A and B are shown apart, each in its own frame.
Chain A
Amino acid sequence: MSNAPALELRGLWRKFGDKIAVSGIDLVVPAGSFYGLVGPNGAGKTTTLSMATGLLQPDFGTVLVHGHDLWASPIEVKAMLGVLPDGVRLFDRLTGEQLITYAGLLQGLDRETVAARATDLLAALDLTADATKLVVEYSAGMTKKVALACALVHAPRLLVLDEPFEAVDPVSAANIRDILRSYVGSGGTVIVSSHVMDLVQRMCDHVAVIAAGHVLAAGTIDEVRGGGSLEDRFVDLVGGRVSGEGLAWLRTSSA
């Protein structure tokens, strides 16, 4: 079990009404890797990550976290996971400090540990000054940061972050990258989804390209990009580039 991959997805399918969002995704995320998940809008990244973290029941398929079946024993496996979903609210009538405390207590941590970690996380994410403000009054970037703190508070073995850098300012983003890097350095595993190829290329050591509910390519960054830049390889794989000449009327002089 000890050398089992941090996350293994086997044949995941999910349908919403008539639309198949994810069709047979297989993915192996090695333990200790910094894994990037990239894909165009609507590729099924959020659906895949939701199924991998117990937030969405797959129609078919298995999710193994460090060798344990997530959907067979959710309570035990969820304790190993730290999750930052995209496009959902938080319990925003709590203050930032209360929210992190809540997340820690739900994971079964004791009072002293939660208090100490909440203080550390607030400082590391530059939220100390706003710790007593209600989360509903936070900006989009601050909300992302406090949600990240909630995902980190119980020191999970596997972190799954959906668009963690969206709306976050460059300084905070650099701080978050440092935190994640040292976390990976100490043996943790991180999965991030992102639209920003450049960021993934610099930050991650593995990457998977997802489009239309399928995995198009997966492996180490060097394997996937094969000499070129990740962005060019992504466009090759996904296709869909259109020539800029099409919108000839979009010239201010023609008005």
Chain B
Amino acid sequence: MVAHLVRLKLTLLRNALRRSPWQVVGLVVASLYGLGALVLVVASMAVLSVQEPDIRGLVTVLVGSVLVLGWWVVPLIAFGLDSTVDPARFVTFAIPRRSLLTGLAIAGVIGVPGLVTVGAALSMAGVWWRTPAALVVGVLCAALAVATCVIGARATTSAASTLVTGRRFREVMAAVAVLPIIVIGPVIGRVTSGTTITEDLLRQVAEVLSWTPFGASWAVPGDVADGQWGLAAARFGIAVVTLAVVALVWDRALAHALVNPAHQKVSSKGRGLGWFDRLPATPLGAVTARCLTYWARDPRYALAVAVVPVLAIVLYIVNPGGDTVLLIGPIAAYLMGWGISADVAYDGTAFWTHVAAPLRGTADRLGRVIAAGAIAVPAVTILVVGSALIARQPHTVPALLGLSFGVLLTSLGGSSILSALVVYPVQLPGESPFQTKQGASTASVVSQLVGWLAVMALCLPEMILALMAVRGGSVALGWVTLVVGLVLGSTLLAIGVRVGGRTLDRTGPSLLSKIVAFA
């Protein structure tokens, strides 16, 4: 059974690679990245292996704990868990749960993160090569730790998705879960920058971690090398119990999921026609009304908006009282303007409604731009004025407004062209936030990068002007920036909508057939 599941995973991977060259590019990039990380870890461990034993113990516990914690937490908030071998697909097969569990766990190791983790764990055990007993124990504990990583990731994600079944709750949850993680880095930075990091502090942290599920298995070989067999046994016990607990949690969650397939609860109701009543009864008005409704009801759009205030807080925490906070206006303008660059992909197969209707591409483009702009213009204005007041530099407002509106209009124009050219698989509305789409990452990363560069290049005039105005403290130059930003941005937006609209008239059916092929 285990061999079957592993073979299934490999077959799925091979078929995915055969299906699109982007998948191959994605795998190559991910493999290079993973290989780089692995080389870095192995090289540092080689250097470490000739250091004092207590330094070795310190570093392996710290690095190992981060590794375990990463496996447990990152899938919840960022990339989701690879869902190619989804337990739900096995509902109708009479497979004993124990074999299913083992098979899925081993299949979970296959993949770039899994293999890099195995390599890193083994190299961390190799640190103890001068003490044979510790080396043997180290390899055993490395295997234990890898199992804890992989099964722990399954346990946290399946437990989380069992807890959150309601559609609204799950959507809100997905949005909210991101917030603490974005904030946590800078907060830790602030806390620790006061107290300089000393070896002593690290030693205390490692000592605490070595008694927790995250660090216990990594600390055992060090204890063995020191000849402290009692300590080693105690920590080994913690590691084994940890693995048993996460396996049990996953087992229970899986058992629950197999007999209670996820379903959506009936919840919200709309009232009246909403935006459709308030906007002009034209195709353009209809598209705008539909997009505005989606900005409010679709969590994927709501997330783009929710990130902005968090970002403002982060920028403030990083450098309170400084100028960094002034960046929030232009950054938010870019994020919100670029937010519609995947709009057609977000529509999914529902995009057929636009293709089947006698709708001109320009009306489609303009409707989406107006909806995004209706939200972004007030938001950016508030952020610019607010950040200037917080930084006590009100004279920068015209320059920053010029830059922000320039960036917003330019990126809206760029999005209009890009989303008429490229679609890539995205999460469907209401899909589990803990799943990723195959092949989504690379195509989206490349188009994001190209788009970012293009927008930056086109915004250079107002960027330079804004920089000069803020640095030189010149209010007159600030007003010039505002005029340049508005005029240049509007021109680029007009071009973007026209070109994007013409392109869409031509590409609409082929975009639709690509989206249908993703589904």
Contact residues of A with B, CB < 8 Å? 53-57, 74-76, 78-79, 81, 83, 85, 87-95, 97-98, 101-103, 105-111, 114, 132-134, 136-137, 150
A56-B513 contact in complex given A136-B429, A136-B430, C-beta closer than 8 Å: yes
B347 close to A55 (CB less than 8 A)? no
A88 close to B349 (CB less than 8 A)? yes
Return A128 CB to nearest CB of chain B, in Å: 14
**Chain A hits for B285, CB < 8 A:** 105
Which of B48-56, B226-234, B289-297, B414-422 forms contacts with chain A?
B289-297
A83-B356 contact in complex given A57-B509, A93-B298, A114-B281, C-beta closer than 8 Å: yes
A102-B297 contact in complex given A88-B349, A89-B349, A134-B270, C-beta closer than 8 Å: no
Query: Which of A88, A101, A107 touches B357 (beta carbons < 8 Å)?
Result: A107
B264 close to A106 (CB less than 8 A)? no
Query: Which of A79, A103, A137 touches B353 (beta carbons < 8 Å)?
Result: A103
B290 close to A91 (CB less than 8 A)? yes
CA A245 – CA B353 in complex, angstroms? 47
A-B CB contacts (within 8 Å), total count: 118
Asked if B394 is an interface residue, CB under 8 A from chain A, the answer is no
A105-B294 contact in complex given A89-B348, A97-B273, A133-B269, C-beta closer than 8 Å: no
CA A108 – CA B285 in complex, angstroms? 10
A90 close to B512 (CB less than 8 A)? no
Asked if B203 is an interface residue, CB under 8 A from chain A, the answer is no
CA A75 – CA B354 in complex, angstroms? 11
B356 close to A54 (CB less than 8 A)? yes
Asked if B286 is an interface residue, CB under 8 A from chain A, the answer is yes
- The 8 listed contacts between A and B (C-beta, < 8 Å) are A54-B509, A57-B510, A76-B358, A78-B356, A88-B350, A105-B286, A106-B357, A136-B430
Return A88 CB to nearest CB of chain B, in Å: 4
**Chain A hits for B282, CB < 8 A:** 105, 108
CA A105 – CA B268 in complex, angstroms? 25
**Chain B hits for A81, CB < 8 A:** 356
B352 close to A94 (CB less than 8 A)? no
CA A76 – CA B193 in complex, angstroms? 66
CA A94 – CA B349 in complex, angstroms? 15
Return B171 CB to nearest CB of chain A, in Å: 11
CA A133 – CA B429 in complex, angstroms? 16
CA A78 – CA B361 in complex, angstroms? 14
Q: How large is the interface on B (under 10, 10 to 19, 20 to 34, 35 or more residues)?
A: 35 or more
B509 close to A56 (CB less than 8 A)? yes
A91 close to B356 (CB less than 8 A)? no
Query: Which of B264, B286, B360 touches A136 (beta carbons < 8 Å)?
Result: B264
A103-B350 contact in complex given A94-B290, A132-B271, C-beta closer than 8 Å: no
CA A105 – CA B367 in complex, angstroms? 13
Return A105 CB to nearest CB of chain B, in Å: 4
A78 close to B281 (CB less than 8 A)? no
**Chain A hits for B429, CB < 8 A:** 92-93, 136
Closest 5 CB pairs of A and B: A105-B286, A111-B281, A88-B349, A95-B270, A106-B357
Return A110 CB to nearest CB of chain B, in Å: 6
CA A178 – CA B242 in complex, angstroms? 65
CA A48 – CA B269 in complex, angstroms? 37
CA A103 – CA B273 in complex, angstroms? 13
CA A31 – CA B199 in complex, angstroms? 86
B269 close to A78 (CB less than 8 A)? no
A101-B356 contact in complex given A93-B298, A136-B430, C-beta closer than 8 Å: no
Return B427 CB to nearest CB of chain A, in Å: 13
Asked if B516 is an interface residue, CB under 8 A from chain A, the answer is yes
A106 close to B355 (CB less than 8 A)? no
What residue in chain B is nearest A80 (Cβ atoms)?
B358
CA A193 – CA B124 in complex, angstroms? 63
Asked if B267 is an interface residue, CB under 8 A from chain A, the answer is yes
A106 close to B359 (CB less than 8 A)? yes
B352 close to A55 (CB less than 8 A)? yes
Query: Which of A54, A93, A106, A137 touches B286 (beta carbons < 8 Å)?
Result: A106
